[in-house]
Amino acid sequence: MLRRWSSLFLAAFTLVSVTACADTAAVTVSRGVVAAGSGMVVSAYPHASEAGADVLRAGGNAVDAAIATGLALAVTHPTAGNIGGGGFMVIRFPDGTSTAIDFREKAPLRAHPEMFLGEDGEYSYQIHHRSHLAVGVPGTVAGFALAHERYGGGEWEALVEPSVALARDGFEVSERLARSLAGRLEAFLDYPATHAQFSKDGEPYQPGEILVQSDLAATLERIRDQGRDGFYTGTTARLLAEEMVRGGGWITEEDLARYQAREREPVRGTYRGYDIISMPPPSSGGTALVQMLNVLEGYDVAAMGAGSPEYAHHLIESMRRAFRDRAMFLADPDFADVPVARLTSKEYANELRPTIQTDAASVSDPGDVETAASWESMETTHYSVVDGDGMAVSVTYTLEGGYGSYITVPGAGFLLNNEMGDFNGRPGLTAENGLIGTEANLARPEQRMLSSMTPTIVARDGELVAVIGSPGGRTIINTVLQLVVNLVDFGQSPEGVVAAKRLHHQWLPDAVRIEEGFMSEEDAAVLTAMGHEVNWSRGQGIAHCIFVDGATGTIVGVPDPRDSDGSAAGY
Ligand code: DON
């Protein structure tokens, strides 16, 4: 058991509880910060956090709770929660060892590097991102099944049942979900099964109304009763393959049967005495995170001060270099040699640091590699879990775009991802608005597409410190970077670490995007004078995190205030 919390630590932040039960051991669910002694889940929807915390309270471990939470999000948070997508899980065990589960989608067997070209032979954004060919072979159910088989403690059926109930009996639509669904309703008209599932006979759901998803409930029942086979074989697989044939996609029942999640060694680094445990390729997240932290370690960041032009400049220059290397080297390690050890070494950071001028911006040079110019949305989701034994689980998973491909499998009730869009568009393609032209991340049979998702765990002296992560495409890596710096260099409270404003630079386009409030306009003008192109953003990331007070063992769940539905559930 973790030790009890101290009043001193609690004084650092505000506690809010919306549904505390009379039973003192009951789960507290809150859209604000929750402190607890025995277990915690923080996710993008209250029902999902509660489902996970209930599993913990019933004796399940953090992996069990992560599975229950992930499946509940597939029902309650359809924009990103999923069984038709994929993602990553980083696990740290109470003895300090760690592992990672890779359930990233794969390209189907028919895939090839030129599959996103139109009939005219030109690259087609539409095919790449919004078609049946944009759908990767889903990995979520296989990932959860693998995590459960190796590290779970509870009965699989009990972990799936809460999501079955949420889909079958329905749940209250929040204001955020109502707004989100209303905004997509017209686009869903082209996808009849999606339009039917997410509207009331064509009318938008209002906040507080009950959303029932019967086909999804039936699919989840098959997963509950048959485990991964309930998704990758039989009825579910047949329905998915039939939809592919109908829409010109390439995923077959064979692709589904062959899909395997992988257990991988996490990327590990250190930052000023803290241990960083994060996701290895096929995510670029952990590698770029450790690379940037190594560069920043050579500067007195605390003395620069949060929000100062000096700090922003060094942050940007670290990001510029890591994102250049990301574009050049990162891909599925089963298909490419990725130099993770070199990129994450202190020696490499020592080579990079002298290339950073203290008072002038570098220039991003595309050379023969360019990268996408688009800014990223928040249509992924991250959640964090800690159990009473100190086992920690960090999960980021996604459908890629909001509601993925928009394709709901008719009769099976779940949305399919459009993750194939994370492969490079075609060999050698470079464009002004930019796409990466490197070989390593091209679509090939059964290859996984490069990701930026960065589920991360921070420890120190053998003790768990934090479970962190975020959605936001490429901004994810920079959001997680700043969570670590806020914690380690600026010594912010748990609430402050998450609430603090962030910035993002991704090498190309050569511009920084600064969340309003990160710094004053006068300080931003100093950056401009150094040669940085400055843009402002209204929000970056949604980091649903957990922190553990080393002195007392108190577990503090901190939903990101940028998300009105983000919720902590602890007991
Ligand atoms: O794997 C990735 O990095 C992306 N598919 C995640 C997408 C995301 O965060 C939503 N924003 N574009």
pLDDT one-digit tens code per residue, 486-495: 999 999 999 9
* Range in 263-267, 314-318, 362-366 the model is least confident about: 362-366
* Nearest-atom index, ligand 1, CA of 104: 1
pLDDT in the model for residue 79: 97
For residue 398, the CA-to-ligand 1 centroid distance in Å is 7
Percent residues over pLDDT 90 in the chain:
89
pLDDT in the model for residue 20: 34
Supply the mean pLDDT for the chain: 93
Top mutation candidate among 77, 140, 376 for ligand 1, by most atoms within 8 Å of CB: 376
pLDDT in the model for residue 23: 37
Top mutation candidate among 476, 513, 560 for ligand 1, by most atoms within 8 Å of CB: 476
pLDDT higher than 60, residue 9: no
* 241-255 pLDDT, tens digit each: 999 999 999 999 999
For residue 474, the CA-to-ligand 1 centroid distance in Å is 7
* 331-389 pLDDT, tens digit each: 999 999 999 999 999 999 999 999 999 999 999 877 635 443 344 567 899 999 999 99
395's tokens: 């999960």
Cβ neighbour number for residue 368 with a 10 Å cutoff: 9
For residue 10, the CA-to-ligand 1 centroid distance in Å is 34
At 51, is the secondary structure helix, strand, or coil? helix
Q: Where are the alpha helices (DSSP H) in 189-284?
A: 192-197, 214-226, 229-232, 234-247, 253-258
pLDDT higher than 80, residue 13: no
- Quote the Cα angle for 304-305-308, to 5°: 85
302's tokens: 């605390």
Q: How far apart are CA 528 and CA 523, in angstroms?
A: 9
Q: Ligand 1: which residues within 6 Å by Cβ? A: 376-377, 379-380, 398, 400, 419, 422, 451-453, 471-473, 476
Q: Is the dihedral of CA 543, 399, 283, 46 positive or negative?
A: positive
Residue whose CA is at the smallest distance from ligand 1 atom 2: 451
For residue 283, the CA-to-ligand 1 centroid distance in Å is 11
Per the DSSP assignment, residues forming a β-bridge with 171 are: 211
For residue 73, the CA-to-ligand 1 centroid distance in Å is 17
Q: Where are the alpha helices (DSSP H) in 297-375?
A: 301-304, 309-329, 340-343, 346-352
In 105-249 the beta strands, taken as DSSP E runs, fall at 171-172, 210-211
Count of alpha carbons within 13 angstroms of residue 323, beta-carbon side: 31
Q: What is the mean pLDDT of residues 265-269?
A: 98
Tokens 């510029």 correspond to 320
Smallest Cα–Cα separation from 280: which of 467, 543, 100, 63? 100
pLDDT higher than 90, residue 153: yes
pLDDT in the model for residue 428: 76
pLDDT in the model for residue 35: 98
pLDDT in the model for residue 327: 87
pLDDT in the model for residue 22: 31
pLDDT in the model for residue 158: 98
Is 454 one of the catalytic residues? Answer: no
| CA distance to 14, 32, 439, 465, per residue, from 11 (Å) | 7, 15, 52, 18
pTM for the model stands at: 0.95
pLDDT higher than 50, residue 218: yes
Per the DSSP assignment, residues forming a β-bridge with 385 are: 41, 393
* 414-473 pLDDT, tens digit each: 999 999 999 998 887 654 444 555 788 999 999 999 999 999 999 999 999 999 999 999
Whether residue 410 has a cis bond before it, omega within 30° of 0: no
Q: Which stretch of DSSP H or E encloses residue 383?
A: strand 380-386
Tokens 């990331």 correspond to 541
Q: What is the mean pLDDT of residues 265-292?
A: 98
Top mutation candidate among 381, 453, 479 for ligand 1, by most atoms within 8 Å of CB: 453
Smallest Cα–Cα separation from 246: which of 405, 112, 410? 410
Smallest Cα–Cα separation from 85: which of 293, 203, 311, 261? 261
* 513-570 pLDDT, tens digit each: 999 999 999 999 999 999 999 999 999 999 999 999 999 999 999 999 999 999 999 9
pLDDT in the model for residue 438: 75
Question: Catalytic pick from 380, 381, 438, 554?
Answer: 380
Contact 497, 545 (CB under 8 A): yes
Smallest Cα–Cα separation from 470: which of 30, 44, 119? 44
pLDDT in the model for residue 126: 97
* Nearest-atom index, ligand 1, CA of 421: 5
